[in-house]
């Protein structure tokens, strides 16, 4: 019990450190390469459209969205949404992020199993992340079995985060493979990789944090038994 709690706290602490470092890396790398124009001159939206069309995804649309680093692919509507400085920007960072989101669209179009699995788990994971501590509190006040219910829901959160890692890395690998086919010069690929690798750290931190919270929940359940 004490071991589980201690290991959980250690993982959470490590996750916080990695998260802080990841936020710094994402911000610094993105802002750095946001100021470096791509030699190709293409904007993020143009690169995204180019990658989609060459992979037969003509039906997937690209739209601008407000905010910073709010870029994402919506599998429900099959729309890539790019933040304004990515959508209209022609920087190394802009084309890298746009290519990454196009990578997700390619995954979806091919029926990439980890992505489909993540999408199916997402609703349960959302419930688990929202109500886990409510169930824990009710477990202490009403019945300890509710803590076990909280753990079951939170397992979906952990699974979601674990599956997210290969999904994101695969999308980045697809992005780099597409960019290497003449979209950007070969000497820009390493810079694109730095942008995408920095973003991937945030998912590593989120996974460690989820595992740490799961161990803490399991220790709470043990205390009630």
Q: Which of 63, 78, 84, 101 is catalytic?
A: 101
CA 213 – CA 157 distance, rounded (Å): 10
- Is 63 in the active site? no
CA 204 – CA 29 distance, rounded (Å): 17
Q: Which residue, among 205, 218, 74, 103, has the nearest Cα to 154 in the 3D structure? A: 218
Handedness of CA 209, 115, 180, 90 (dihedral sign): negative
Backbone angles phi, psi at 110, to 5 degrees: -85, -5
Q: Catalytic positions, please?
A: 101
């Amino acid at each position: 019990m004490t071991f589980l709690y201690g290991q959980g706290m250690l993982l959470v602490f490590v996750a916080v450190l990695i998260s802080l470092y990841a936020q710094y890396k994402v911000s610094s790398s993105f802002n750095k390469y946001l100021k470096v124009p791509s030699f190709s001159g293409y904007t993020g939206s143009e690169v995204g459209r180019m990658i989609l069309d060459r992979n037969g995804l003509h039906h997937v649309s690209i739209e601008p969205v407000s905010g910073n680093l709010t870029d994402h692919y919506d599998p429900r509507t099959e729309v890539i949404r790019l933040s304004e400085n990515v959508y209209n920007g022609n920087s190394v960072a802009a084309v890298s992020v746009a290519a990454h989101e196009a990578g997700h669209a390619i995954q979806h179009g091919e029926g990439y199993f980890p992505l489909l699995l993540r999408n199916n788990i997402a609703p349960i994971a959302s419930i688990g992340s929202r109500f886990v501590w409510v169930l824990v509190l009710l477990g202490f006040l009403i019945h300890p079995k509710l803590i076990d219910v909280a753990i079951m829901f939170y397992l979906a959160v952990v699974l979601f985060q674990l599956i997210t890692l290969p999904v994101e890395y695969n999308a980045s690998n697809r992005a780099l493979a597409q960019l290497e086919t003449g979209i950007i010069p070969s000497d820009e690929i390493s810079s694109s990789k730095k942008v995408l690798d920095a973003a991937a750290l945030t998912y590593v931190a989120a996974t460690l944090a989820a595992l740490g919270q799961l161990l803490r929940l399991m220790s709470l359940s043990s205390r009630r038994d």
